[in-house]
Chain A
Amino acid sequence: MFTILGFPAPLLFGQLLLGVINGAFYALLSLGLAVIFGMLNIVNFAHGALFMLGAFVAWGLLEYLGIGYWWALVLAPLVVGAFGIVLEKLLISRLYKLDHLYGLLLTFGLALIIEGLARNNFGSSGMPYPIPASLQGAMNLGFMFLPVYRGWVVVAALVMCLATWVVIEKTPLGATLRAATENAKLVQAFGVNVPLMITLTYAGGVALAAFAGVLAAPIYSVNPNMGANFIIVVFAVVVIGGMGSILGSVVTGFGLGVIEGLTKVFYPQASATVIFLVMIIVLLARPAGLFGRAA
């Protein structure tokens, strides 16, 4: 068996792949958080819970209606997005005139309620979700076997990140969004229905989380804690990447996933803390984050 730097190659590549997969979820989740933060100025602590909800909707569609993975990939984001519209209209929109802390408290509370309800109804052991037939099996890459589904997750996440980036950076709609992030009042005085735009941005951000949740369902079992496990790291990603930066979220998400994976090989004891170490170092050197613009 060949080795790299004294470590068995399969172990190294295995952890690297795991890192990239985790990175894909970090990127998708922090992307939604960044978009929401840019427009609403709230840190959406309910993001992990809505990611989990996406996975549960996929599971429910299959369990109760016999609707499979591919439809779930479309329907779960729509369902969770619609739920997001209700949350924003009913609750979050009341807080815009108040301090950021209220938005944080509200969304944190929402996360606890959503996760608590899931735990109450489904227990915390988790339910399996099958890999769709067309994505089963593994490919031999020569140096390792790549499970097809995991390859798909990375590709799907990258495509979704790229699509989001294109919409925000290259389209008139995206230009309006960026402008509203800078000065919402003036954009509204140019004839744009900004309140509606804010609602739809929240819906879009949480729909991205639900999309990630469906992608995650076959990998991690569908369980009430799946969002909570991710979300702390995702907040670190957002802070490191720079609050509200799209590109920053994506690059940092994948980058930190890989760093975490490699740490598991080279110094396993630090794998749980390495991301926070990176966060501290980045914040010391660049308080606005790697890609953030200083206020």
Chain B
Amino acid sequence: MAEPMLQVRDLNAWYGESHVLHGVDFDVGEGEVVTLLGRNGAGKTTTMKSIMGLVPRRAGSIRFRGAELVGMRPDLIARTGIGFCPEERGIFASLDVTENLMLPREVAPGGLSVAEIHTLFPNLKERARSQGTKLSGGEQQMLAIGRILRTGAKLLLLDEPTEGLAPVIVQQIGRTIREIKARGFTVLLVEQNFRFAATLADRHYVMEHGRIIDMIPNAELEARMDTLHEYLGV
């Protein structure tokens, strides 16, 4: 079998002295939407940051389309074709909406055009000249997702894109993820709201204490709901 698009093996990560990831293993296949579920502090964000090279220290192996990312600089990792939407959204206050949108470097052909992004998120067009951080939380999230759709990156890392947002906006983001999946993008999604995740994802990985402890295909989610509740403590 061919190597999956993203293959993470025995990934360890540290913040200073504190050892946070203890041998994370998972795969994401081309065109899949895969979630990372887990309680607060399980290591979901750290896993994403490790993929992007944003943790102080990491070890193990992260292979993306055959290239080894451990040891690579973050800008070069991005240029292999990975787009990152951070948990805190990372909208820049000193840039207006358009400047925020145009900031990430184009890494490959095949990204969405600005017009297409404006069709997905009409608010961004209306507020093109506003200061980035003057947008509402929902609009900032649209901007954070929109700007990585432009770059041609085909693997998108979305860290809790629906956190703290109103239901209509959560739905809009859900539609967007379905749309980009239909266009052939691959998504690794961190989500607290697994009911929302269940409407989008192909598979779910469950994290606990810096390890992957289970993998649930979406089709089995209903049947294994009790186990999942136990994992997540809800």
Contact = CB atoms under 8 A, between A and B. Distances in A.
A189 B84 contact: yes
Contacts of B90: 183, 186
Contacts of B102: 172, 175
Interface in A164-216: 172, 175-176, 178-179, 181-183, 185-194
A182 B92 contact: yes
Given A189-B74, A190-B78, A191-B79, A178 B95 contact: yes
Given A172-B102, A175-B99, A189 B75 contact: yes
Contact of A176 (B74, B78, B103): B103
A44 to B, nearest CB: 21
B92 A192 contact: no
Contacts of B75: 188-194
Contacts of B52: 189
Nearest to A169: B94
A183 B73 contact: no
Given A172-B102, A190-B105, A191-B104, A178 B77 contact: no
Contact of A178 (B53, B74, B84, B92): B92
A191 B78 contact: yes
Interface size grouping (class) on chain B:
20 to 34
A182 B93 contact: yes
A193 B79 CA distance: 10
Contacts, number: 57
A189 B53 contact: yes
B107 interface: yes
Nearest to A183: B90
Given A186-B86, A191-B107, A178 B94 contact: yes
B95 A179 contact: yes
A69 to B, nearest CB: 37
B84 A187 contact: no
B151 to A, nearest CB: 7
Nearest to A184: B74
Contacts of B78: 188-191
Nearest to B83: A190
B15 to A, nearest CB: 14
Contacts of A175: 95, 99, 102-103
Interface string B62-103: 000000000001110111000010100010111100010011
B77 A181 contact: no
Contact of B92 (A179, A189, A191, A193): A179
Interface string B97-120: 001001111010000000000000
Contacts of B105: 190-192
Contacts of B107: 191
Interface string B1-15: 000000000000000
Contacts of B92: 178-179, 182-183
A235 to B, nearest CB: 24
B61 to A, nearest CB: 20
B54 interface: yes
A190 B104 contact: yes
Contacts of B77: 189
A291 to B, nearest CB: 13
A181 B95 CA distance: 11
B73 to A, nearest CB: 7
Given A189-B75, A191-B78, 16 more contacts: A172-B102, A176-B103, A178-B94, A179-B92, A179-B103, A181-B94, A182-B92, A188-B74, A188-B78, A189-B77, A190-B75, A190-B78, A190-B103, A190-B104, A191-B107, A192-B75
Q: Please name the 10 residue pairs, one residue from A and one from B, whose CB atoms are nearest each other, closest first.
A: A191-B105, A190-B104, A191-B78, A175-B99, A178-B94, A188-B74, A179-B92, A189-B74, A186-B90, A189-B52
Interface of B: 52-54, 73-75, 77-79, 84, 86, 90, 92-95, 99, 102-105, 107, 151
22 contacts: A172-B99, A172-B102, A178-B95, A179-B94, A181-B94, A182-B92, A182-B93, A182-B94, A183-B92, A186-B84, A188-B73, A188-B75, A189-B52, A189-B75, A190-B84, A190-B103, A190-B105, A191-B75, A191-B78, A191-B107, A193-B75, A194-B75
Interface of A: 172, 175-176, 178-179, 181-183, 185-194
